[in-house]
């Protein structure tokens, strides 16, 4: 995972990297137009209570633990390994997330007062590892979802449920005013990429 910059220097992975950077840049430019709606609407009040930060954080951690417990009880080593891979994916993605948070130090939408501009949000947050870019809940949710979806892809409904739940958690980060759309997008891409090409590569 940490060798990725060196692989880029050798000319590898340029197309997906440029695509993600371009999409992130486009969403960053759109944040100032999209986020004010979520900062002032009450339309998602009920949804936000069900998918609060605490609830979704606990769910993301508890699901691999429950999967391991069920696998242990059933003597299902494949299920146990899936749970361990999911835990590894969360740990790896969290290291990347904390590094990027500490470098970018972006304000969260809820930190921005009415007189402040949405276009100048980076390098201001006093919280280093808890800043906005990228979304921690999203990167963890998609890490777990990708491991489960890939390991149980023979069951067609599993990827739909796994990515559907992860996508719902990702949207909740925007409606809760905890993250911008660009934060969520990057968290989605990183969570998938780390789980798929780092943890499950072999």
- Cα 27–chain centre separation: 15
Match 């390994």 to its residue by tokens.
Answer: 81
Q: How many domains does the chain have?
A: 1
The answer to whether 185 touches 24, Cβ cutoff 8 Å, is yes
CA triple 166-188-76, angle to 5 deg = 50
Tell me how far CA of residue 81 lies from CA of 16, 43, 130, 162, in angstroms.
29, 41, 30, 17
Q: What is the pLDDT averaged over residues 78-90?
A: 96
The segment with the largest mean pLDDT, out of 74-78, 121-125, 129-133, 196-200, is: 74-78
Q: Output the average pLDDT for the chain.
A: 90
For residue 16, the model assigns a pLDDT of 87
**Percentage of the chain lying above the pLDDT 90 cut:** 67
More confident residue, 30 or 114: 30
The answer to whether 135 touches 187, Cβ cutoff 8 Å, is yes
For residue 127, the model assigns a pLDDT of 75
The answer to whether 188 touches 81, Cβ cutoff 8 Å, is no
* Six token digits for residue 24: 């992130």
For residue 201, the model assigns a pLDDT of 85
For residue 41, the model assigns a pLDDT of 87
> Exposure of 82 by Cβ count < 10 A (0-12 exposed, 13-18 middle, 19+ buried)?
buried
Label residue 173 by pLDDT band (50, 70, 90): very high
Domain range for 126: 4-199
Match 């958690």 to its residue by tokens.
Answer: 169
Q: What is the largest CA-CA distance in the chain?
A: 59
For residue 114, the model assigns a pLDDT of 56
Helical residues (DSSP H) of the chain, grouped into ranges: 4-9, 14-40, 45-50, 53-74, 77-104, 136-151, 157-175, 181-194
CA 20, CA 61: separation in Å to the nearest integer? 27
Q: What is the pLDDT averaged over residues 54-72?
A: 93
* Six token digits for residue 115: 């007189």
Q: What is the pLDDT averaged over residues 74-101?
A: 95
CB atoms within 10 A of CB 36: 14
For 95-151, how does the pLDDT look when each residue is reduced to its tens digit (9 = 90+)?
999 999 999 999 898 888 655 677 788 888 887 788 899 999 999 999 999 999 999
pLDDT of 56 above 70:
yes
The answer to whether 186 touches 24, Cβ cutoff 8 Å, is yes
pLDDT of 202 above 70:
no
């Amino acid at each position: 995972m940490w060798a990725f910059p060196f692989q880029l220097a050798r000319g590898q992975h340029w197309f997906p990297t440029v695509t993600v950077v371009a999409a992130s840049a486009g969403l960053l430019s759109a944040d100032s137009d999209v986020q004010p709606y979520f900062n002032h609407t009450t339309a998602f009040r009920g949804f936000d209570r069900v998918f609060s930060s605490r609830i979704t954080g606990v769910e993301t951690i508890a699901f691999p633990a429950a999967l391991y417990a069920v696998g242990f009880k059933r003597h299902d080593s494949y299920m146990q390994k899936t749970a361990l891979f999911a835990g590894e994916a969360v740990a790896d993605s969290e290291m990347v997330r904390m590094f990027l948070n500490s470098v970018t130090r972006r304000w969260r939408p809820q930190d921005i007062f009415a007189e402040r501009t949405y276009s100048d949000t980076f390098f201001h947050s006093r919280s280093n590892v808890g800043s906005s870019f990228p979304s921690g809940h999203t990167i963890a949710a998609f890490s777990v979802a990708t491991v489960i979806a890939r390991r149980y892809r023979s069951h067609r409904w599993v990827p739909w449920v796994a990515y559907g739940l992860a996508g719902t958690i990702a949207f909740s980060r925007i409606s809760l005013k905890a993250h911008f759309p660009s934060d969520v997008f990057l968290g989605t891409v990183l969570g998938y990429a780390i789980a798929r090409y780092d943890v499950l590569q072999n």
